[in-house]
Amino acid sequence: MSKVGKKKLIWIIVGVFLMSVALAGCGGGGKEAGGQKEAPKKLELLFATGGTAGTYYPLGGAIAQVWNSNYDKVNVTVQASGASVENIRLLDSKDADLALAMNNIADDAYKGVGSFKEGAKKNFLAVGVVYPEIMQGFVAADSDIQTIADLKGKKVAVGPTGSGTEITTHAIVQAYGLDFKEKKDFEPIYATFADAVDQFKDGHVDAAWNALAAPASAIVDVTTTKAIRFLEITGAELEKLQKDFPLVAPYTIPAGTYKGVDKDVQTVALQAALYVRADMDEETVYNLTKIMYEKNTDIAKGHDMGKQIVIERALAGITTPIHPGAAKYYKEKGIQLP
């Protein structure tokens, strides 16, 4: 072959190669598979909840399922966690994208107080209230513990270390003149709800506190084998608690909510709310907010607390900044932002 012929052959090969590259680049937004474009990749979101025996984890699973079924741009995966305090830290460190937390814990984080004295955490924004977080402290029905003040010298399950239950329980007993830090007045048992229930049934703790929805499955489990009585929060101690811990509100657990408890129980509640990373895009948060409040009946099919997810209470007790995506939805619904 002449030199000219060789050059022509080389240029032909180069031309074919360049054409193949150009054609490969004309595929648009997705690869061709069997003549059809592949679906665009979904946004993977990690949803931090709580312990498996509490309310956060199963309710979070029900919410995630409804999100995934109604919003094809995301895939939300639920993760068990140590609940409120840990969840806010996970959002701040970008190790979670969404999280459930008590509103008082989020408030502490934003201000850099309480469990966040090392520094404020502000890499999160509020979406809205999910359900009331009811403080439920109970003892055996035949216990000599008649009031919260009688917990002195006892063994008391106070929730996992750093959880919203632990922090709120500490505030409650302080209103009754007790302090369990460094085992000052009674021995605190730092346990998950599941472990606390097991220890209570086995007689290893005298009382247990939980921040849960009512009825709580962990407490219902106790009542199947053991009669219980709740410790109430009323009177001057309630007033002191509200003064020192402003976000708590009186709450009545109706008679008959639990087996053997035939009278109303006077206690307090906070709010379990949904929070997201501050840098999550507005469109995603708008759609997650809209679906959570408008598909609450579908959520309730997976967990009864879905009935509590109502837009009328979406901003009750929210004291930290609201994500622009959630704010956009509330404005559409005519809800005034705090």
Domain 133-270, architecture per CATH = 3-Layer(aba) Sandwich (3.40)
Q: Which of 194, 49, 168 is nearest to 115 (CA)?
A: 168
Report the 3 state secondary structure along the chain: CCHHHHHHHHHHHHHHHHHHHHHHCCCCCCCEECCEECCCCCEEEEEECCCCCCCHHHHHHHHHHHHHHHCCCEEEEEECCCCHHHHHHHHHCCCCCEEEEEHHHHHHHHHCCHHHCCCCCCCEEEEEEEEEEEEEEEEECCCCCCCHHHHCCCEEECCCCCCHHHHHHHHHHHHCCCCCHHHCCCEEECCCHHHHHHHHHCCCCCEEEEEECCCCHHHHHHHCCCCEEECCCCHHHHHHHHHHCCCCEEEEECCCCCCCCCCCEEEEEEEEEEEEECCCCHHHHHHHHHHHHHCHHHHHHHCHHHHHCCHHHCCCCCCCCECHHHHHHHHHCCCCCC
Per-residue pLDDT at 166: 92
Average pLDDT per consecutive 10 residues, the chain (338 residues; last block may be shorter): 47 45 43 56 96 90 98 97 94 98 95 94 97 95 97 96 89 96 94 91 95 88 95 97 92 96 97 97 98 98 95 94 98 93
Per-residue pLDDT at 23: 39
Per-residue pLDDT at 218: 85
State the amino acid at position 23 in one-letter form.
Answer: L
Per-residue pLDDT at 163: 83
Per-residue pLDDT at 54: 83
Per-residue pLDDT at 7: 46
Per-residue pLDDT at 38: 65
The structure tokens listed for 93 are 């460190």
Domain 43-130+272-332 fold is D-Maltodextrin-Binding Protein; domain 2 (3.40.190)
Cis peptide before 215 (omega within 30 of 0): yes
Q: What is the spatial distance between Cα 134 and Cα 170, in angstroms, rounded to a whole number?
A: 15
Q: What is the pTM of this model?
A: 0.79
The structure tokens listed for 262 are 């035939």
Every domain of the chain with CATH number 3.40.190.10 lies at: 43-130+272-332, 133-270
Place of tokens 């906070």: 270
